[in-house]
C-alpha cells in the first residue's frame, strides 16, 4: 500500500469511528468527508470560486485527532510576502494540504495568528509535528565549532543546549551544553536496542526522554539542561514566493529601488523591496553590457544552483532595459569592503578561517555541480549577519561542455582579473575548477591580510613574470603557517596537484582542532 493510500485509509478509519461514536447526521458526515477533500485541493483559484470554501474552519469532532504526519510545527516566524501566503510564528501548528510543489506548501493554520486561514508556507520553515526535527533543541547540521559559537552568543544562559550530529563519528549525535561561559560536549550513544545514553547506567528509548531526564537533574552532566539554544536566523526561502519558483520573470513595478549599495562594471546594485514586503538586492545592468538572451541562458543555470553558501538568484526583469537581477540581500556588502573596514578590529583569526571555510563550502558545491566560477575573489563574496559569507557573481560560470574535461576556454580578448587568475588561465585560456582553486588561494591571502591587494608592489605584468619563475607570495603577518601551506597548495604549478574544494573545506573547518578529547568522557564523568 502506498503512503497516500495508507494515509487515506487511516483517515477514513478515524472519520467513521468518530461518526459512530457521536451519531453524527448524514450532513455532518458529508461535511467531515469534505474536510478530507481539502487536502487534495491544490488550485486556490478553483477552490475560491465558491465551489468549495476552503477558508472555512475545519470541523474538529470531539476526540478527533488528525494523523500527526500531516501536521507540522513552525520552526521560525514567517511574514506573508503575498496575499496567498500565511503569516505564522514559531510554534504554530500547520496542516499541510498539498506538498507537491516541493518548496512551498499549501497549508491551513491550526493554531496561532492565522488560525483557520489557508495559504502558502515555505517548506523549510516547518517540521513534522512530534518528529525529532520539530524539537527546538535539535540542530542536525550544526558543526561543533558553530555550536560553540551559537551557544556563546547573546540570549543563551547557563544550561542552554543543543543536540547535533557528531562530526567525528558519522551517524552519531552529540549534546553541547553551555556551562560557566564554556561549551561542553557529550556523545550520545546508542545501545543495540536503539536506546540512547550518555552514561551506560541510564538509557532512554527516545532522545526526548533523555533530554527531559537531564533537564530535571544533571546526574553527572556539568549542569541540568536548560533552555534550547536560540536559533539566530531563519533560513532563506526557495525563491521569493511559491509562484516565483517557476515564473521568475516578475513585473518591474513589483520592485521598488531604495538605496544604492555599490556599482560594478556592469551596473549599479540597490537595496530594494519586492511586493512591498521583502528586502532584496537589485543588480541593474547597464543597457547594452550584456546580451539579454545570453544572460537569460546563464540565469537559467544560476537558478539551478542552490546552496546556503551561494547567493540565491530570486527573479529577473528582462522585458525592458535596464535588466534587473534580483538576489538575496546581504547586509554587510562585499567581503573585500568588510575586511578592509574591520582591519582586524573585530574579526579574529578563528572568524577569518571560518569565513574562508564558508567560501570553500560554496565552491565545493559548484565543484560537485561541474561549474566553474572564473572570478573568485573577496570582491565577489558577500557578507551577511554573523559573518555569514556567500559566493556571488557565479553568473559567469559555465557548465562544462566537453566530456571528461572540465575545461572552459575563455573568449579571446576577455578581461582577466590577472592577480587572481591561474597561470594556465593567463597563458592558455584554460579555466577549470582547479584554476578556481588557485583564485581561492589568493582569496585566502586577502582574508588573512584584511583585504590587501595581492602582490602589492607589482603590476599585473610583473606578477605574471614573477610567478612564472616559480615565486609565490610569502606568509602574511600573523597568518598561521599551516594556513600559508594551504595557500601554497592552491598555487601549485601543476593544476592536478592542487587540492579539491571538498578537501579545502574540511581542512579549514577542522583547522583549529577536531580534537575528540574535547568531548567530556562519558565513562569518567
Ligand atoms: P564586478 O562588476 O566586476 O563584478 P563587483 O562585484 O564589485 O564588480 P557588483 O557585483 O555589481 O560589482 O557589486 C557592487 C557592490 O554592490 C558590491 O561591492 C557590494 O558592496 C554591493 N552588492 C552587490 N550585491 C549585493 C547583495 N546581494 N547584497 C548586498 N550588497 C551587494
Q: pLDDT digit string (tens) for 164-192?
A: 987 767 778 999 999 999 999 999 999 99
Mutate to test the pocket of ligand 1, among 270, 333, 385 (most ligand atoms within 8 A of CB): 333
Query: Which stretch of 51-55, 221-225, 434-438, 509-513 has the lowest confidence by average pLDDT?
Result: 51-55
Ligand 1 touching residue 330 (CB < 6 A): yes
Angle 46-47-51 from CA coordinates, rounded to 5°? 95
Angle 400-373-122 from CA coordinates, rounded to 5°? 95
> Which H helix or E strand runs over 425?
helix 423-428
Q: Kindly report, residue by residue over 64-80, the tens digit of the pLDDT.
A: 444 444 899 999 999 99
> What is the atom index within ligand 1 of the atom nearest the CA of 380?
6
Cα dihedral sign for 335, 336, 337, 339?
positive
Task: Decide if pLDDT at 293 tops 80.
Answer: no
Q: Kindly report, residue by residue over 372-416, the tens digit of the pLDDT.
A: 998 999 999 999 988 999 999 886 444 233 333 444 445 444 567
Query: Tell me, what DSSP letter sits at residue 504?
Result: H
Angle 302-306-312 from CA coordinates, rounded to 5°? 65
Query: Which stretch of 270-279, 297-306, 377-386, 399-408 has the lowest confidence by average pLDDT?
Result: 399-408
Task: Decide if pLDDT at 305 tops 70.
Answer: yes
How confident is the model at residue 524, as a pLDDT? 36
In the set 375, 428, 510, 521, the catalytic residue is 375
Task: Decide if pLDDT at 151 tops 50.
Answer: yes
Q: Kindly report, residue by residue over 432-442, the tens digit of the pLDDT.
A: 999 999 999 99
Instruction: Give distance in angstroms: CA of 379 to centre of ligand 1.
Output: 7
| Mean pLDDT within 362-371 | 94
Query: Tell me, what DSSP letter sits at residue 154?
Result: T
Among 25-29, 405-409, 492-496, the range of highest mean pLDDT:
492-496
Query: Which stretch of 240-249, 309-318, 331-340 has the lowest confidence by average pLDDT?
Result: 240-249
| Mean pLDDT within 142-150 | 86
Pairing of strands 182-190, 519-520: parallel
Instruction: Give distance in angstroms: CA of 335 to centre of ligand 1.
Output: 10
High-pLDDT (> 70) share of the chain, %: 80
Residue nearest to atom 6 of ligand 1 (CA): 380
| Mean pLDDT within 47-63 | 37
Q: Kindly report, residue by residue over 439-464, the tens digit of the pLDDT.
A: 999 999 999 999 999 999 999 999 99
How confident is the model at residue 197, as a pLDDT? 94
> Which H helix or E strand runs over 260?
strand 255-264
Task: Name the residue with higher pLDDT: 44 or 232.
Answer: 232
Strand partners, 42: none
How confident is the model at residue 235, as a pLDDT? 86
How confident is the model at residue 491, as a pLDDT? 98
Instruction: Give distance in angstroms: CA of 263 to centre of ligand 1.
Output: 6
Ligand 1 touching residue 269 (CB < 6 A): yes
3-state helix, strand, coil in the chain (%, to 5): 35, 20, 45
Average pLDDT of the residues of the chain: 81
| Cα–Cα dist 291/343, whole Å | 39
| Mean pLDDT within 19-29 | 36
Mutate to test the pocket of ligand 1, among 255, 259, 263, 264 (most ligand atoms within 8 A of CB): 264
Task: Decide if pLDDT at 222 tops 50.
Answer: yes
The answer to whether the CB of 441 falls within 8 A of the CB of 491 is: yes
The confidence band for 515, taking pLDDT boundaries of 50, 70 and 90, is very low
Which residue segments constitute the domains of the chain, with CATH numbers given?
A: 64-136 (2.30.30.40), 138-230 (3.30.505.10), 248-327 (3.30.200.20), 335-400+408-509 (1.10.510.10)
Ligand 1 touching residue 312 (CB < 6 A): no
Ligand 1 touching residue 298 (CB < 6 A): no
Ligand 1 touching residue 379 (CB < 6 A): yes
Ligand 1 touching residue 393 (CB < 6 A): yes
pTM over 0.95: no
For the CA atoms of 417, 267, 380, 437, the dihedral, rounded to the nearest 10 degrees, stands at -40
The confidence band for 292, taking pLDDT boundaries of 50, 70 and 90, is confident
| Cα–Cα dist 358/491, whole Å | 20
Residue 375 annotated as catalytic: yes
How confident is the model at residue 395, as a pLDDT? 62
The answer to whether the CB of 14 falls within 8 A of the CB of 67 is: yes
| Cα–Cα dist 520/124, whole Å | 33
How confident is the model at residue 520, as a pLDDT? 56
Amino acid at each position: 500500500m502506498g503512503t497516500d493510500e495508507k494515509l487515506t485509509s487511516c483517515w477514513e478509519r478515524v472519520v467513521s469511528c468518530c461518526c459512530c461514536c457521536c451519531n453524527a447526521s448524514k450532513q455532518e458526515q458529508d461535511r467531515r468527508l469534505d474536510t478530507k477533500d481539502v487536502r487534495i485541493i491544490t488550485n486556490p483559484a478553483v477552490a475560491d470560486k465558491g465551489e468549495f470554501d476552503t477558508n472555512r474552519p475545519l470541523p474538529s469532532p470531539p476526540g478527533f485527532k488528525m494523523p500527526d504526519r500531516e501536521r507540522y510545527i513552525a520552526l521560525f516566524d514567517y511574514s506573508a510576502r503575498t496575499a496567498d501566503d500565511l503569516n505564522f510564528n514559531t510554534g504554530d501548528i500547520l496542516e499541510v494540504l498539498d506538498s507537491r510543489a516541493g518548496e512551498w506548501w499549501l497549508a491551513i493554520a491550526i493554531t496561532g495568528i492565522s488560525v483557520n486561514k489557508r495559504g502558502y508556507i515555505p517548506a523549510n520553515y516547518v517540521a513534522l509535528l512530534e518528529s525529532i526535527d520539530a524539537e527546538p533543541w535539535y540542530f542536525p547540521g550544526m558543526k561543533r565549532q558553530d555550536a560553540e559559537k551559537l551557544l556563546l552568543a547573546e540570549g543563551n544562559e547557563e544550561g542552554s543546549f543543543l543536540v547535533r550530529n557528531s562530526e567525528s563519528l558519522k551517524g552519531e549525535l552529540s549534546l553541547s551544553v553551555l556551562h560557566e561561559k564554556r561549551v561542553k560536549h557529550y556523545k550520545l550513544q546508542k545501545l543495540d536496542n536503539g536506546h540512547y545514553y550518555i552514561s551506560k547506567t541510564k538509557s532512554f528509548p527516545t532522545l526526548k526522554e533523555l533530554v527531559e531526564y537531564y533537564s530535571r537533574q544533571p546526574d553527572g552532566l556539568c549542569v541540568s539542561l536548560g533552555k534550547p539554544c536560540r536559533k539566530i536566523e531563519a533560513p532563506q526561502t526557495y525563491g521569493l514566493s511559491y509562484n516565483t519558483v517557476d515564473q521568475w520573470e516578475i513585473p518591474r513595478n513589483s520592485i521598488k529601488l531604495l538605496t544604492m549599495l555599490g556599482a560594478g562594471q556592469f551596473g549599479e546594485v540597490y537595496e530594494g523591496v519586492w511586493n512591498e514586503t521583502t528586502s532584496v538586492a537589485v543588480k541593474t545592468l547597464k543597457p547594452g553590457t550584456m546580451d539579454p538572451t545570453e544572460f537569460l541562458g546563464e540565469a537559467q543555470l544560476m537558478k539551478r544552483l542552490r546552496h546556503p553558501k551561494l547567493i540565491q538568484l530570486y527573479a529577473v526583469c528582462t522585458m525592458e532595459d535596464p535588466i534587473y537581477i534580483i538576489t538575496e540581500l546581504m547586509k554587510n556588502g562585499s567581503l573585500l569592503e568588510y575586511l578592509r573596514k574591520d582591519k582586524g578590529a573585530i574579526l579574529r583569526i578563528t572568524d577569518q578561517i571560518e569565513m574562508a571555510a564558508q567560501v570553500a563550502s560554496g565552491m565545493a558545491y559548484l565543484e560537485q555541480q561541474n561549474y566553474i566560477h572564473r572570478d573568485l575573489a573577496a570582491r565577489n563574496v558577500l557578507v551577511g549577519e554573523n559573518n555569514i559569507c556567500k559566493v556571488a557573481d557565479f553568473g559567469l560560470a559555465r557548465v562544462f561542455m566537453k566530456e571528461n574535461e572540465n575545461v572552459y576556454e575563455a573568449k579571446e580578448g576577455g578581461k582577466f582579473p590577472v592577480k587572481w587568475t591561474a597561470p594556465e588561465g593567463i597563458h592558455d585560456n584554460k579555466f577549470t575548477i582547479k584554476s578556481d582553486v588557485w583564485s581561492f588561494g589568493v582569496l585566502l591571502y586577502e582574508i588573512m591580510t584584511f583585504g590587501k591587494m595581492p602582490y602589492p608592489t607589482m603590476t599585473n605584468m610583473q606578477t605574471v613574470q614573477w610567478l612564472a619563475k616559480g615565486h609565490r607570495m610569502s606568509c602574511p603577518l600573523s597568518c598561521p603557517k599551516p594556513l600559508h601551506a594551504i595557500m601554497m597548495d592552491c598555487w601549485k604549478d601543476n593544476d592536478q596537484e592542487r587540492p579539491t574544494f571538498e578537501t579545502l573545506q574540511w581542512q579549514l573547518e577542522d583547522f583549529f582542532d577536531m580534537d575528540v578529547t574535547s568531548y567530556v568522557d562519558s565513562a569518567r564523568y
